[in-house]
Each structure stands twice: as C-alpha cells, then as structure tokens.
Amino acid sequence: NTLLFTPFGTMVLFPTVFKSLPYDAFADFAPVTQALTFDFGLAAGPMSGAKSLADLTEWLQKNPDKGNYGVPGLGALPHLLPLKYAADAGVKVQAIAYTGTAPALTAAMAGETALVCAPLADLIAQHNAGAIRLLATSGKARSPYLSDVPTFIDQGFKIEGSGWYGIFAPAKTPRAGVIKMNKALVDAIHSPEFLERAKSVFLTATGTSPEELGAIQMADYERWKPVIEAAGLAGK
C-alpha cells in the first residue's frame, strides 16, 4: 500500500472546512505515525520596533492600517496564528502571501511589512543577526533551539500550534499492516541517525502510535476550524 507522508496543513486537517478538496482526510486515510514536529515564529521587522507581543499590540492599536504580515502561502498555520493573536488582542492584521519564506522574510526586514510568520527554523538566523525580532514561538513550551524567545502562552495568549509530519496509509489498510508499518517506522525514527538529522534542521523527532496521531489530527482540526471559519477561509 502507498504511504502518504505529509506536513501538518489545512489540506490534511481541514477536509470538511475546505469543501473543494477531493478527499476526506479522516475517512480516506489511516494514521500510521507522527514522525516530526516543528514550531512557528512570529517576528517583527524594523517598522514597529516591537520587542514583545505587548509592544506589538500597543503599536497595532496606534497603527491599525499597518498590520501587514508576510507568510509563505495562505491557509496554513503561519497564516492562522497571527489571525488568532489579533482576534484575542483586539487588533487588526492582514496576511500578505509570498512564494515561500525567503521573500516574506525579506519584505519584513526591508520594512515593507511589519511582521513575518513562518517556520521557526527559517527565522532563527536573521533573529540572531538582529535583522528581525522574534516575538513569540508557537509551541506549548519554548523551543529547545531558541529558549530565550517566549511562547504565545508565556505572554498570556491561549495560542498553541506546532507543525508536524505524519505518515498515513489508505483507509482500508488491514490493521495488522498498519501496526507492522508503525513498528518499522517508529524504530527508524528513534534511531540515532534520524534523531541527529532531525536536530540539524531544527525538527523534533517523535514517533507515535496510530491512535496518538489520530488524536493529534482531530485536536488540531477542532482547534483551528473556528479560526478558519471566522477568517472566511472555508469557502463554499
């Protein structure tokens, strides 16, 4: 059977929200294992001078027409996290989609946009160089790769959303086959070689049971469905 190895994203988690998708991610696929997780970061360029979410909130209150943020494409967590923050903080932001993180990051550094939201790994170098300022990371706890940057939760916002890579099989795959694949994959994910490679690209190796991956998928769906619908992204 063919395996699907996919990053966390709206096409995978929100099949009943995005009506145009030709499949149902819950009905058409059987979870095998989560392989990797990663955090996102919200960073400010020089436009706002913000050093924290409190600074950013104050600046956006004074400059409601300047809250543009660059994202590497619409519909996934880099798009949704700032929307959730803005709703909770009572401010306005507007996503600007770029073809990848690099141009979104460049726009923020150049002062063309106030903010950029992207995978944390793509922002660390420029944060360390002082070209941008990471204001918040998206995990439940601080990133092991940037422990000096607080999470949204640390700063009083009930916002948490990590990315992940999951492996799925076709829905009718026999249970015995799913269990066999899970064991082989988890053994590989927990190998020293895989763990070291994951760390080198700022990823965290996991390796879950099929049931744990299914629960993660459902929890993320329930967490982000209201944000997608409130933002008018669900379509018809």
231 has pLDDT over 90: no
Residues 6 or more apart whose CB falls under 8 angstroms from that of 149 comprise 41, 127, 134, 135, 136, 137, 142, 143
The reported pTM is: 0.87
Q: How far apart are CA 87 and CA 80, in angstroms?
A: 11
Q: Is the pLDDT of residue 16 over 70?
A: no
- Token couple for 147: 């422990």
How far, CA to CA in Å, does 72 sit from each of 40, 122, 209?
12, 11, 31
Residue recorded with tokens 């401010």:
91
- Each residue of 19-42: pLDDT tens digit? 556 778 889 999 999 999 999 999
Quick check: 134 and 60 in contact, CB under 8 A?
A: no
- CB-side neighbour CA atoms (13 Å) of 136: 29
Tens of pLDDT, residue by residue over 118-157, are 999 999 999 999 999 999 999 999 999 999 999 999 999 9
Both structure tokens of 220: 């993320």
165 forms beta bridges with 7, 36
State the pLDDT at residue 38. 94
pLDDT score of 226 more than 70: yes
Three-state secondary structure call for residue 160: coil
Type of residue numbered 112: E
For residues 209-221, average pLDDT: 94
pLDDT value at position 6? 53
Task: Give the phi and the psi of residue 183 in degrees, each rounded to 5.
Answer: -60, -45
Per-state percent for the chain, helix, strand, coil, to nearest 5: 40, 20, 40
Mean pLDDT in residue range 40-45: 98
Whether pLDDT at 167 is above 50: yes
pLDDT at 227: 85
DSSP secondary-structure letter at 121?
G
- Average pLDDT over the chain reads 90
Model pLDDT for residues 62-106, shown as the tens digit of each residue: 999 999 999 998 888 999 999 999 999 999 999 999 999 999 999
Q: Which two tokens stand for residue 24?
A: 């149902």
